[in-house]
């Protein structure tokens, strides 16, 4: 992973934490955040924090993703 990708992943982690605090997030922003966290979480050496944020987002706002 390149240095600028680490900064991008950190930004998506922060955005995911903010989305967890909101009760009614924007659907497009939620989908983009989950997609990009999957992308930057890693393929073989998974970033455990990013994976936890993805599952928390899906558990809390999963009803919005079904539509």
Question: Tens digit of pLDDT for each residue in 22-44?
Answer: 998 999 999 999 999 999 888 88
Q: What is the pLDDT of residue 3?
A: 73
The residue behind tokens 């993703």 is: 65
For the cut 90, the answer to whether the pLDDT of residue 46 exceeds it is: no
Note the residue count of the chain.
67
The domain locations on the chain are: 3-65
DSSP run (H or E) holding 3: helix 3-21
Q: How many CB atoms lie within 10 A of CB 64?
A: 14
pTM to 2 decimal places:
0.84
Q: What is the pLDDT of residue 64?
A: 81
For the cut 70, the answer to whether the pLDDT of residue 5 exceeds it is: yes
């Amino acid at each position: 992973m390149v240095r600028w990708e680490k900064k991008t992943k950190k930004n998506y982690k922060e955005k995911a934490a903010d989305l967890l605090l909101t009760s009614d997030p924007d659907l497009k922003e939620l989908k983009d955040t989950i997609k990009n966290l999957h992308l930057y979480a890693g393929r073989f050496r998974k970033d455990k924090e990013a994976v936890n944020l993805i599952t928390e987002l899906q558990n809390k706002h999963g009803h919005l993703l079904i539509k």
